[in-house]
A = this chain, B = another copy of it.
Amino acid sequence: MRLCLENCMSVSSSLYRRQLFLVRSLGGCCCWVHMEGGGTAVKARFSTLGADAEGLMRIITPKLDPIRYKGQAGKIAVIGGCREYTGAPYFAAISALKIGADLSHVFCTRDAAAVIKSYSPELIVHPVLEESYSVRDEEKASVCAKVLGEVNKWMERFDCIVVGPGLGRDPFLLDCVGEIMRQARESKIPTVIDGDGLFLVTNNLDLVKGNTLAILTPNINEYKRLVEKALGCEINDQDASQQLASLASRIGGPTILRKGKTDLISDGLTVDEVDIFGSPRRCGGQGDILSGSVAVFSSWARQRLAIVEESYKLSNVNPMVLRSIAGSALLRKAASFAYANKKRSTLTTDIIDYLGRSLEHICPAN
């Protein structure tokens, strides 16, 4: 379901024109678009990108061609992994490879690196982050600069970075990661923010404000904190789509993918819903797969935006929304396959095992 919604807080005339264009252009489900400021309530019927998530994936996913060389199908990096958490960054990084990225890096602390490396020889793991316990106060500035230097050497090679899986909440580490996010933004690298990355961002919204290349992927609790911080109110499940659009608009820039029974995606202008059946299992780690999945489609969608717009007779489609829809749909598909096989016993690694088959099921490689 794709809803074009009122941005309750601030509605520009260009948004209003775009909404009118969509009303004219599209058929499909019914929704209200409330226009405040200069607007009036408009009852609109829209066709949907989210409802055709599989069709969208078929358009976004690039053909494989023997003349292509290593890296052209995607170079991803995950910023995460500390003394406590090593599974989450692994899940995100290996998911990216299993979906079809060529290279997947992890930037983590030294303690985490050996463990993450041992999960898989396919990942390139950089032991460069530092936590407070290993750094004296007087060293912090120089250590942070060194960390930033180590990551920056690589930054421009990446098509997308994922910030947050297994990052932990060490204040010094989070400060350094905030600087990495600023650097990614300067370098115009799309950035998916999940887990403890959302904790960092919720406490410092300026890190993502105005960054249209950022995607936030909160679960229910992370979303609750974001709503409280940015909108100053409680979650409103009765009008979830509108509240999500309001939140995205208030933050201004990032696309938000709200995970739940169905996934809702908004950039503040539109709301899409992905309701492909997934799995009733809620084992930890599925959000990490999602972040890796969105990252891969991020590198693919950029090249295929014009074809999507032509196929759906749309203009000004936000590529970050496309990435989020495709990433969500693939995870849900893989989760449904894994659950059909493993039932209550389904784990995140089982779902990862189905990522390739799920994508092949939707858009065969040859």
Distance in angstroms between the alpha carbons of A87 and B105 in the assembled complex: 12
Q: A66-B261, A90-B121, A122-B349 are in contact. Are A73 and B282 (CB under 8 A)?
A: yes
CB contacts (< 8 Å) of A346 on chain B: these are 356
**Contact between A284 and B124, CB atoms less than 8 A apart:** yes
A98 within 8 A of B: yes
CB neighbours of A357 from chain B (8 A) = 345
Is A348 in contact with chain B by the CB < 8 A criterion? yes
A73 to B, closest residue via Cβ: B282
Q: How does the 8 Å CB contact mask read for A123-136 relative to B, with 1 for contact and 0 for none? A: 11111000000000
In the complex, whether A115 has a CB less than 8 A from a CB of chain B is yes
When C-beta atoms are compared, the residue in chain B nearest to A63 turns out to be B280
Indicate with 1 or 0, residue by residue over A330-366, a CB within 8 angstroms of chain B CB atoms. Answer: 0000000000001111111100000111011000111
Which stretch, A4-12, A21-29, A31-39, A78-86, touches the partner chain B? A78-86
Is A72 positioned at the interface, with any CB of B under 8 Å from its CB?
Answer: yes
Residues of B within 8 A of A281 (CB): 64, 73, 100, 102
Inter-subunit contact B117/A86 (CB<8 Å): yes
Decide: A70 near B282, CB < 8 A? Known: A114-B115, A115-B118, A127-B83: yes
A225 → chain B, closest Cβ, in Å? 15
Q: A285 on the interface (CB 8 Å rule)? A: yes
Please judge, given known A-B contacts A73-B282, A280-B68, whether A365 and B348 are in contact too, CB under 8 Å: no
**Chain A contact residues, CB within 8 Å of chain B:** 61, 64-73, 83-87, 90-91, 97-103, 111, 114-115, 117-127, 219-220, 260-261, 278, 280-286, 342-349, 355-357, 359-360, 364-366
Q: 17 A–B contact pairs at CB < 8 A?
A: A65-B280, A66-B278, A69-B260, A87-B121, A87-B123, A90-B121, A97-B283, A98-B345, A100-B281, A103-B283, A115-B118, A118-B119, A122-B285, A122-B348, A342-B356, A344-B356, A344-B365
Known: A64-B280, A69-B219, A344-B360. 14 other contacts (CB 8 A): A66-B261, A70-B282, A70-B286, A71-B282, A73-B282, A84-B127, A85-B124, A100-B344, A100-B345, A102-B284, A118-B118, A121-B349, A344-B356, A345-B360
